[in-house]
Structure 1
Amino acid sequence: MEQQLKEALLEKCREMEIPLVGVANVELWEKPRFHPWIPEEFHPQSIYPEARSAIVIGLPVTLPVLETSPSIYYRELYKTVNNLLDQYTYRLSNFLTEKGYPSIFIPRDGYGSIKVLLDNPVAFFSHRHAAFLAGLGNFGVNNTILTPGYGPRVRFGTILTTAELEPDNIIEKQLCNHCMRCVRMCPSNTLEEKDYPEGITDKKACASFSDELNKREISPCGICIKVCPIGEDRKTYGREDASMYEKKDKFKDYHRAWEHVRSYGGK
């Protein structure tokens, strides 16, 4: 019965054109994978005590649009992906509930604004850790989940369900190649050349820079995920050479296009 339910769920995701889906048993949160691990109050059962499984979906962030960041173009893409994640996780939670397995969706962010993060840079649930435990990817130096298909260029949403679904395997092979391009190009000097979680040094610096961009109506930043060389999407779009973001003379046409987009639509 559980296998049939998971197959029905995956078919529903295919119908909705959701490219990334993974499942984790909620008990995985109780077994620390690295230090520091997620405090108990952020575990799925602390949010929905009846939860038995976490379903994580991922939607890609289109690389050629992201490359214009920070820009109004990327801002609109970010908003679009977020809205779709909320809609899809809501619909999937209802799909499972109607089949007799009460379920809830977790909003993609879980905080009111960047200014809230300046005071307390934590949301009530981590989709990134859920994606890791659901076998969709693993952490890079830039504090994001890297996936084989899209590198860190993915936004995640989560459904907590009472159904005990077959979990997916965690990806054990480290995807980050430690090129440190995200460290070098971070405009707020948030990162250090260390593995996650030690690599993230100043969450408030990142939030402060996003707040400044938000005042100009061109947030979020997105630079650390656009310069990452990991992901099959780089091949799809002919962007295998990730040095293109640093070498303006060699990639003049690209930089000219990005500067054109950045010159309009924001403050």
Structure 2
Amino acid sequence: MRNKVETMIKEFVKHYAESKGFKTKWKEPLIAYADAEDKMFYELKVVVSYSHALPKDFLQEAKTVITYFIPFDDTVIRSNIDGRESSRVWAIAYIETNQLIADLNTYINEELKNMGFNGTIIPATHNFDKRKLISDWSHRHVAFIAGLGSFGLNNMLITDKGCCGRIGSLVTDLKIESSERKNREYCLFRHNGTCKKCIDRCVNDALKVDCYDRHKCYEICLNNDKVHLDIGLTDVCGKCLVGIPCSTINPVKK
């Protein structure tokens, strides 16, 4: 069943842009699974927010959390390196990938239902407290629990295919064996104290070695939304993800 789920996800992403007439291109996704009963989900109520949901809050009979990372094509990444404002290509990729995740989760749920299982559809973004700027279901933290990667100094999840992309997840009552959670750092700074290039890349002074100002971060994201107002909600930035050693690879594994 694990192979079937992975084939569904990879094939859906592979043909999605062409089927929708979208401009964005993506690389093959990485997929990982977590036991819905994993005790680390309870830790998110401390690490992220007391209001952070548990898998069983979505589905009482939850057995597995499926997570996946969809890497951006290199053209998307390169487009966002220069300038203070996010590139139009990056902004479009944000919108189109959010739609991809919504459609992919819908597709997986339909396929699971055909096989006699249930699932949930969780939005890719905008499921957060607008005042605290904290999510009640952090796809990044859930993906960490599933073993997709580790957190970088830029607060992004670094996977074996880097951090430039989007993460999606869904909860199901289908039992799938959990992925291995590797207890090692993928971030060069946290691995050996070097790099810190993501801090240099931050355009609004929101990122420091010892702190992160999420309100300053969101401020520049809202500014970018004004810049790209004609294409939809694009409260994104991504400058601290591009042009750094972990953009497209796990630099510690290299």
TM superposition score normalised by structure 1: 0.74
**Structure 1 segments of 4 or more deviating over 6 A?**
none
Structure-2 residue corresponding to 1:6? 2
Structure-2 residue corresponding to 1:262? none
**Cα distance, 1:177 vs structure 2:** 0.2
Aligned partners of 1:138 and 1:35: how far apart in 2? Answer: 18
- Measured against aligned partners, the alpha-carbon deviations of 1:80-105 in whole angstroms (never above 9, x if no partner) come to 22211111111112211221111112
- Measured against aligned partners, the alpha-carbon deviations of 1:57-113 in whole angstroms (never above 9, x if no partner) come to 22112233233221212111221222111111111122112211111121101348x
Structure 2 CA distance for partners of 1:91 and 1:56, relative to 1, 3 Å: same
Given residue 81 of structure 1, which amino acid in structure 2 is its aligned partner? T
Kept after mapping to 2: 8 A contact 1:111/1:123: yes
Structure 2 CA distance for partners of 1:47 and 1:110, relative to 1, 3 Å: farther
Larger Rg: 1
Structure-2 residue corresponding to 1:53? 64
Given residue 164 of structure 2, which amino acid in structure 1 is its aligned partner? R
Aligned partners of 1:159 and 1:169: how far apart in 2? Answer: 18
Identity of aligned residues (%): 23
**Cα distance, 1:55 vs structure 2:** 0.3
Aligned partners of 1:41 and 1:139: how far apart in 2? Answer: 18
Kept after mapping to 1: 8 A contact 2:97/2:166: yes
Structure 2 CA distance for partners of 1:20 and 1:30, relative to 1, 3 Å: closer
Aligned partners of 1:141 and 1:233: how far apart in 2? Answer: 15
**Partner SS state of residue 24, structure 1:** strand
**Partner SS state of residue 106, structure 1:** coil
**Partner SS state of residue 185, structure 2:** coil
Aligned partners of 1:72 and 1:40: how far apart in 2? Answer: 34
Structure 2 CA distance for partners of 1:234 and 1:24, relative to 1, 3 Å: closer
Kept after mapping to 2: 8 A contact 1:110/1:124: no
Q: Where does the alignment leave 5 or more consecutive residues of structure 1 unmatched?
A: 241-267
TM superposition score normalised by structure 2: 0.78
Aligned partners of 2:219 and 2:6: how far apart in 1? Answer: 39
Kept after mapping to 2: 8 A contact 1:40/1:46: no
CA RMSD, aligned part only? Answer: 2.6
Aligned partners of 1:35 and 1:53: how far apart in 2? Answer: 22
Given residue 169 of structure 1, which amino acid in structure 2 is its aligned partner? E
Given residue 58 of structure 2, which amino acid in structure 1 is its aligned partner? I
**Partner SS state of residue 189, structure 1:** coil
- Measured against aligned partners, the alpha-carbon deviations of 1:187-246 in whole angstroms (never above 9, x if no partner) come to 12111214xxxx4x21111111111111111742110110321255699xxxx9xxxxxx
Structure-2 residue corresponding to 1:143? 155
Q: Does 2:106 correspond to 1:95?
A: no
Structure-1 residue corresponding to 2:35? 25
Aligned partners of 1:104 and 1:221: how far apart in 2? Answer: 28
Structure 2 CA distance for partners of 1:229 and 1:152, relative to 1, 3 Å: same
Structure-2 residue corresponding to 1:244? none
Q: Count the aligned residue pairs.
A: 222
Q: Does 2:59 correspond to 1:43?
A: no
Structure-2 residue corresponding to 1:67? 78
Q: Does 2:134 correspond to 1:134?
A: no
Given residue 143 of structure 1, which amino acid in structure 2 is its aligned partner? N
Kept after mapping to 1: 8 A contact 2:33/2:179: yes
Structure 2 CA distance for partners of 1:233 and 1:175, relative to 1, 3 Å: closer
**Cα distance, 1:37 vs structure 2:** 5.2
Aligned partners of 1:211 and 1:230: how far apart in 2? Answer: 25
Aligned partners of 1:12 and 1:78: how far apart in 2? Answer: 22
Q: Does 2:136 correspond to 1:120?
A: no
**Partner SS state of residue 27, structure 1:** coil
Q: Where does the alignment leave 5 or more consecutive residues of structure 2 unmatched?
A: 15-27, 81-85, 190-194
Structure 2 CA distance for partners of 1:144 and 1:232, relative to 1, 3 Å: closer
